[in-house]
Copies of this chain bind each other. A is one copy, B any other.
């Protein structure tokens, strides 16, 4: 190529890598996996034609890397919030912190929500096949089971409780323009995220408390 772009190894590979992941997350979210090509991703990321393939091997590899990055960010956020909560308040505070950080994660990452919504409509096979998915579900289940075991909680299936938390945090973002707005709520409004957090934390803590 004669456009002056050097081999990605010799430029800023971390920046190129992040730009490709950003572009891929956005295009997969807007057009779905089938409707997106490596070439378009490279163009949106502003890298030379061969760079996405050079970094990620294939479209499937890049899709897996998009999921892995999103899940890693989510797990970091939840783990950090939980660690801070452990010092102050024990299992109830940890559960509250995990819920709060998950709402923050989703509100900051609407492309991830859209990407997974598309995946669900497409049957979910590609999503489940991504290694990061199984690892994240396992980590989420282990965290939920651990909190449940240590708290003043009634016996609850950790998988059902994790599904509840996912549902309560995810649904208002995914259905912001359908059900949430239909109920007079505005998930893009300034106070929605904090109001929703407090509401979900209280519902779930009371819902699983012992006695």
Which A residues contact B (CB, under 8 angstroms)? 114, 116-121, 123-125, 127-128, 133-134, 137, 140-141, 156-157, 159-160, 162-164, 166-168, 170-172, 174-185, 195-196, 199-200, 202-204, 206-209
Q: Is the CB of A203 within 8 A of B207?
A: yes
Nearest chain B residue, comparing its CB with the CB of A118: B121
- Which of B116, B121, B166 has a CB less than 8 Å from the CB of A114? B121
Contact B178 A124 (CB under 8 A): yes
Find chain B residues with CB under 8 A from A176 CB. 120, 124
CA distance A9 to B130 in the complex (A): 54
CB nearest to A123 among chain B residues? B177
Picked from B137, B163, B185, B206, the residue with its CB within 8 Å of the CB of A163 is B185
A16 to B118, CA, bound (A): 32
Shortest beta-carbon distance from A78 to chain B in Å: 15
Q: How far is the CA of A184 from the CA of B125 in the complex (A)?
A: 14
Chain B residues closer than 8 Å to A206, beta-carbon distance: 206-209
Contacts of A204 in B (CB 8 A): 203, 207
21 contacts between A and B (CB under 8 A): A116-B178, A117-B121, A120-B178, A124-B181, A125-B177, A127-B178, A137-B179, A159-B183, A159-B184, A159-B185, A163-B179, A163-B180, A163-B185, A166-B175, A167-B170, A168-B168, A203-B207, A204-B207, A206-B206, A206-B209, A207-B207
